[in-house]
């Protein structure tokens, strides 16, 4: 934890204060007070003394909104989308990259920056997050005033989600042969990490067909071959198929043992590879979302979040972020000077028009609504992952809250009941989330009125990585936590009927 003396020494620096106050203009800024959580919202920073007074009270870092407001102090919780759109003047694109392997994080960050350049964007900035990742920024001034006849300033957070999803596909695409995934999977750093942690590669990847890019389930790749003993005709079938009949020669075909072949159900392709989950956050971006300000200290690492040369990410050394030897960079994060107005038009239009390349990998913006249960599911029918998460978490609390709200709304819980559960669950966490932020997420979901499923069970980032994946026998038969509960309810009903 950062000591008061270290924090005061750092934040008393005039050059640090100048950079923080410059980035705070027209934005909501909230201080974090070590392990005690965040301060009041809304709040702003206007003068150097605003910084020092909060540090004296125990502030260790400052976090700023992606959105810019006419008057941040007029923000309220809850707040309708209409009111937020009226108060919001603009927003900046901030992409958060945080892979578990440091060298891989640098590679992914570098690829995103290259992709932005390939979309004719020059006003790109980058900063070290202060611990394990990077933030990439493009100022709002680079975007066109309208996208598909809608004011761009009103398209937050939808536009950010779409741009980030699009870029994640773009840098590791079928057209590029999924070269980035191949590079990561073969890298010594990644394989050393897997050996050291004992984690499986399947926690970070999904199987795909190299030919068409379709995502595959394990059963899609396991097929057997049958051959007619008379005409020699061969037929592929699923492993569960015991017999095949040749209609031409009226004989049973021979099942060739130990000749399991891989075949894509979509195109028939037989070449498969691994697609890496790049851990570029899209789901947790929401209105009034905050990120660590440039030149703020990081509570876990003790390092400073500093802007860096976006062309030299691969060369960055964390030792340059030590507060005792810190030099204010000539690079600015979200530098608004000399921005070419509208230069990001190509990027945002393509992002709104694109479809995910991996078939079966649903874009969170396009997931279909699920037919409601019609009653509030009892907790005894919850799947193991939900039950385990509800006991409290050390890491992954935001991801679990996203899983939980979408799970509960799909199993019949009303928002009043969900709110009570959220508050109870949050108290069990090692470090509770800010209740205002947690309930704000719930109210945003309620206003949106659209139910979507939680991430599927094979999404390691949302289950295995936060330590809640603890499958039982029923888990092997489902692909989503909601399916688990529905299947369990059906099983109990049938058992009561004596079936």
Q: What is the pLDDT of residues 376-409, one digit of tens each?
A: 788 888 999 999 999 999 888 888 998 999 899 8
Query: What integer best gives the mean pLDDT of the chain?
Result: 86
Would you call 374 exposed, middle or buried from its count of C-beta atoms within 10 A (0-12, 13-18, 19+)?
exposed
Q: Are 148 and 229 found together in one domain?
A: no
Q: Are 24 and 101 found together in one domain?
A: yes
For 261, half-sphere exposure in the C-beta direction (CA atoms, 13 angstrom radius) is 16
Q: Are 145 and 15 found together in one domain?
A: yes
Domains in the chain: how many in total? Answer: 4
* 362 falls within a domain: no
Model confidence pLDDT, tens digit, residues 1-37: 899 999 999 999 999 999 999 999 999 999 999 988 8
Q: Are 49 and 159 found together in one domain?
A: yes
- Kindly state the average pLDDT of the residues 337-355: 90
* 148 falls within a domain: yes
Q: Are 53 and 166 found together in one domain?
A: yes
**Other Cβ atoms closer than 10 A to 36:** 11
Position 364 confidence tier, pLDDT thresholds 50, 70, 90: very low
Backbone angles phi, psi at 443, to 5 degrees: -70, -35
* 96 falls within a domain: yes
Position 433 confidence tier, pLDDT thresholds 50, 70, 90: confident
- pLDDT at residue 218, as a whole number: 55
Q: How far apart are the first and last CA of the chain?
A: 59
Q: Are 416 and 463 found together in one domain?
A: yes
The answer on pLDDT for 361 being more than 80 is no
Q: Are 468 and 436 found together in one domain?
A: yes
191-200, 305-314, 352-361, 372-381 — which is least confidently predicted? Answer: 352-361
pTM of the model: 0.69
Model confidence pLDDT, tens digit, residues 192-213: 999 998 888 888 888 888 877 7
Which of 343, 447, 496, 380 minimizes the C-alpha distance to 79?
A: 447
The answer on pLDDT for 367 being more than 50 is no
* 339 falls within a domain: yes
- Which two three-digit tokens encode residue 274? 């691994």
Q: Are 140 and 37 found together in one domain?
A: yes
* 153 falls within a domain: yes
* Domain extent at residue 194: 174-219+265-277
More confident residue, 199 or 364: 199
Q: Are 102 and 250 found together in one domain?
A: no
Position 257 confidence tier, pLDDT thresholds 50, 70, 90: low
- Residues 277, 206: contact at Cβ < 8 Å? yes
Position 442 confidence tier, pLDDT thresholds 50, 70, 90: confident
Q: Are 398 and 425 found together in one domain?
A: yes
More confident residue, 171 or 149: 171
Q: Are 273 and 312 found together in one domain?
A: no
* 370 falls within a domain: no
Q: What HEC string does the chain produce?
A: CCCHHHHHHHHCCHHHHHHHHHHCCCCCEEEECHHHCECCCCCCCCCHHHHHHHHHCCCCEEEEECEEECCHHHCCCCCCHHHHHHHEEEECEEEEECCCCHHHHHHHHHHHHHHHHHCCCCCCEEEECCCCCEEEEECHHHCCCEECCEEHHHCCCHHHHHHHHHHHHHCCCCCCCCHHHHHHHHCHHHHHHHHHHCCCHHHCEEEEECCCCCECCHHHHCEEEEECCCCCCEEEEECCCCCCEECCCCEECEECCCCCECCCCCCCCCCEEEEECCCECCCCCCCCCEEECCCCECCCCCCECCEECHHHHHHCCHHHHCHHHCCCCCCCCCCCCCCCCCCCHHHHHHHHHCCCCCCCCCCCCCCCCCCCCCCCCCHHHCCHHHHHHCCCCCCCHHHHHHHHHHHHHHCCCCHHHHHHHHHHHHHHCCCCCCHHHHHHHHHHHHHHCCCCCCCCCCCHHHCCCCCCCCCCHHHHHCCCHHHHHHHHHHHHHHHHCCC
> Which of 232, 261, 290 is at the close of a domain?
261
Q: Are 50 and 155 found together in one domain?
A: yes
């Amino acid at each position: 934890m950062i000591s008061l003396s270290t924090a005061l020494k750092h934040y008393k620096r005039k050059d640090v204060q100048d950079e923080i106050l410059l980035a705070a203009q027209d934005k909501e800024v909230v201080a974090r007070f070590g392990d005690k959580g965040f301060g009041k919202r809304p709040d702003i920073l206007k003068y150097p003394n605003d910084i020092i007074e909060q540090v004296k009270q125990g502030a260790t870092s400052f976090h700023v909104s992606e959105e810019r407001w006419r008057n941040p102090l007029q923000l309220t919780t809850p707040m309708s989308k209409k009111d937020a759109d009226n108060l919001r003047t603009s927003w900046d694109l901030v992409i958060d990259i945080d892979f578990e392997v440091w060298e891989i994080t640098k590679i992914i960050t570098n690829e995103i920056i290259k992709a932005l350049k390939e979309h004719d964007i020059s006003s790109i900035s980058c900063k070290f997050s202060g611990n394990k990742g990077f933030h990439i920024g493009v100022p709002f001034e680079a975007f066109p005033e309208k996208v598909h006849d809608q004011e761009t300033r009103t398209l937050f957070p939808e536009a950010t989600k779409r741009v980030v999803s699009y870029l994640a596909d773009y840098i590791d695409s079928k057209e590029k042969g999924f070269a980035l995934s191949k590079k990561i999977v073969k890298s010594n750093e990644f394989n050393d990490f897997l050996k050291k942690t004992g984690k499986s590669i399947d926690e970070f990847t999904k199987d795909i067909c190299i030919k068409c890019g379709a995502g595959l389930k394990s059963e899609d790749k396991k097929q057997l071959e049958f051959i007619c003993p008379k005409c020699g005709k061969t037929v592929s079938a699923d492993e569960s198929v015991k017999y095949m009949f040749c209609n031409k020669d009226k004989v049973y075909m021979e099942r060739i043992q130990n000749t399991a072949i891989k075949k894509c159900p979509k195109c028939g392709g037989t070449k498969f590879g691994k697609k890496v989950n790049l851990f570029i956050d899209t789901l947790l971006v929401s209105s009034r979302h905050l990120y660590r300000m440039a030149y703020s200290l990081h509570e876990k690492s003790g390092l400073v979040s500093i802007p860096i040369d976006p062309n030299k990410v691969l060369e960055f050394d964390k030792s340059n972020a030590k507060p005792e030897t810190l030099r204010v960079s000539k690079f600015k994060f979200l530098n608004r000077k000399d921005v070419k107005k509208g230069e990001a038009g190509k990027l945002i239009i393509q992002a709104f028009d694109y479809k995910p390349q991996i078939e079966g990998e649903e874009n969170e913006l396009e997931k279909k609504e699920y037919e409601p249960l019609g009653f509030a599911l009892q907790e005894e029918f919850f799947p193991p992952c939900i039950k385990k998460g509800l006991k409290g978490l050390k890491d992954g609390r935001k991801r679990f809250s996203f899983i939980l709200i979408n799970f509960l709304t799909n199993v019949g819980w009303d928002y009043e009941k969900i709110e009570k559960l959220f508050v109870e669950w949050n108290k069990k966490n090692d470090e509770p989330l800010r209740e205002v932020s947690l309930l704000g997420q719930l109210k945003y979901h309620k206003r949106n009125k659209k139910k979507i499923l939680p991430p599927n069970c094979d999404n390691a980032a949302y289950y295995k990585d936060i330590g809640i994946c603890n499958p039982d026998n029923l888990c092997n038969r489902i692909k989503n936590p909601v399916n688990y509960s529905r299947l369990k309810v059906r099983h109990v009903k049938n058992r009561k009927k004596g079936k």
